[in-house]
């Protein structure tokens, strides 16, 4: 059983919720959070755990192979939960090289560092390399059907291509070197601490500032939304209960057409801001579609439920309300992460769409 656990990307959105869960739930484990602190990494997300005796933060880049070697040896890492990545599809369309670098080469550097360290210290028994991935590797669905664990990979964006490639490397390490690995492919997450480049926090922030809400295309694309803490709970049960070499899909059976989600979100934000119902509906602005925009994602997570007993704990309406409240109560967090370079990002990304 792993005890010295390296969580990569722990200062990001999902990673910070995973770090918090593991630090609080497993006081006997030593949790090392390795993060490069890119624009998406923020140690403010972890203020409540930074003093915990079983928690250590390490600033570092997963692409730095020599450093990864040192970290595995120095801290006798025997479990990895790998979340560090470039994660935003729109950015991947502008700068695919960054995605190949971090998501593919970074994952490979981490795999190789883990393999060499584990081979040097008694082999693979009791070790686990957990790779956190996305349902986007399966491509796009039309109106019907679900992604299952046996759906063929068919990534369509530079982001999903890079994640698919990293998944293949992880499986190759299992097949070739006998490394105990597990992969989970999860649907769209939402919740506190998500960088406001992704749909839900971006739109909450824009409604707050009475700024236009840039809906891509006709708003008819469908996403399957899961509360981030439920994703972290799934990672916990998979880490502790998986069969090495296996794959698990994680999703909430919670599909929303973008425009329906956006209208629902506007109602919740307006109510919590004390604005008249629907006051912000006129902020909706249909803009040029995302290139190669996947139509629909929908995950079948039956295997995870049947084998490991995991189910989402929150209904979407409850999760959305909690999420909107969090962003409205944490205006200074939003203001800090949207100052500086964010403005340039926003102007570049949206300037030419409208």
Residues at the contact surface with ligand NAD, assessed by CB under 6 A = 8-9, 11-15, 35-38, 40-41, 61-63, 83-85, 87, 102, 106, 132, 134, 163, 186, 188-189, 195
> Looking at 16, 92, 162, 188, which residue binds ligand TYD (CB under 6 A)?
188
Q: In the bound complex, which residue of the shown chain has the CB atom lying closest to ligand NAD?
A: 12
Closest CA to 102 of 77, 119, 82, 126: 82
Verify binding: residue 46, ligand TYD, rule CB under 6 A. Answer: no
Residue 9, sorted as left (phi over 0), alpha (psi -120 to 50) or beta, turns out to be left
Q: Tell me, residue by residue from 285 to 324, as one string, x for binding to ligand TYD by CB under 6 A and - for no binding.
A: -----x----------------------------------
Closest CA to 257 of 132, 106, 143, 95: 143
Nearest distance in Å: CB 73, ligand NAD = 18
Q: One of 35, 61, 86, 135 is an active-site residue; which one?
A: 135
Catalytic, 297? Answer no
Long-range contacts of residues 97-104, Cβ cutoff 8 Å, at least 24 apart:
99/158, 99/159, 99/161, 99/162, 100/158, 100/162, 100/165, 101/63, 102/62, 102/63, 102/162, 103/159, 103/162, 103/163, 103/165, 103/166, 104/162, 104/165, 104/166, 104/169
Tokens of 99: 């995605």
Q: One of 35, 136, 236, 294 is an active-site residue; which one?
A: 136
Catalytic, 136? Answer yes
Nearest distance in Å: CB 310, ligand TYD = 22
Q: Which residues lie closer than 8 Å to 126 by C-beta, 6 or more apart?
A: 1, 2, 78
Nearest distance in Å: CB 337, ligand NAD = 11
Closest CA to 184 of 102, 319, 82, 61: 82
Q: Which is nearer to ligand NAD, 324 or 337 (CB)?
A: 337
CB 222 within 8 A of CB 258: yes
Catalytic, 135? Answer yes
Nearest distance in Å: CB 13, ligand NAD = 3
Verify binding: residue 238, ligand TYD, rule CB under 6 A. Answer: no
Q: Find which of ligand TYD, ligand NAD, none residue 230 binds, CB within 5 to 8 Å per kind.
A: none
Active site residues: 135-136, 159
- Positions touching ligand TYD (CB under 6 A) are 89, 188, 198-199, 202, 214-216, 221, 223, 258, 290
């Amino acid at each position: 059983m792993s005890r010295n656990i390296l969580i990569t990307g722990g200062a990001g959105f999902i990673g910070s919720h995973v770090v918090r869960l593991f630090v609080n739930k497993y006081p006997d484990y030593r949790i090392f959070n390795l993060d490069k602190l890119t624009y998406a990494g923020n140690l403010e997300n972890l203020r409540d755990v930074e003093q915990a005796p079983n928690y250590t933060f390490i600033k570092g880049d997963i692409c730095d192979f020599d450093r990864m070697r040192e970290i595995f040896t120095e801290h006798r890492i025997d479990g990895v939960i790998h979340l560090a990545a470039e994660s935003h599809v729109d950015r991947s369309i502008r700068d695919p090289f960054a995605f190949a670098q971090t998501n593919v080469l970074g994952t490979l550097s981490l795999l190789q560092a883990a393999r060499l360290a584990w081979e040097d210290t008694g082999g693979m028994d009791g070790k686990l390399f957990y790779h956190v991935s996305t349902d986007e590797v399966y491509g796009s669905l039309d109106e019907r059907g679900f992604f299952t664990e046996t759906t063929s990979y068919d990534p369509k964006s530079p982001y999903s291509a890079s994640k698919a490639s990293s998944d293949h490397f992880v499986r190759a390490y299992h097949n070739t070197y006998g490394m105990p690995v597990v992969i989970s492919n999860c649907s769209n997450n939402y919740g506190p601490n998500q960088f406001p480049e992704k749909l839900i926090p971006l739109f909450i922030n824009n409604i707050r500032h009475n700024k236009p809400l840039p809906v891509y295309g006709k708003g008819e694309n469908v996403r399957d939304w899961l509360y981030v803490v439920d994703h972290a709970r799934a990672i916990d049960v998979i880490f502790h209960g998986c069969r090495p070499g296996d794959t698990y899909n994680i999703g909430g059976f919670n599909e929303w057409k973008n425009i329906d989600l956006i209208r629902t979100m506007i109602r919740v934000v307006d109510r919590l801001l004390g604005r008249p119902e629907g006051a912000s509906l006129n902020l909706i602005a249909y803009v040029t579609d995302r290139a190669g925009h996947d139509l629909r994602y929908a995950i079948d997570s039956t295997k995870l439920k049947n084998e490991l007993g995991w189910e989402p704990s929150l209904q979407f309406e409850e999760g959305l309300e909690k999420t909107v409240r969090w962003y409205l109560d944490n205006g200074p967090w939003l203001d800090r992460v949207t100052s500086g370079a964010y403005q340039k990002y926003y102007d570049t990304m949206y300037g030419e769409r409208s």
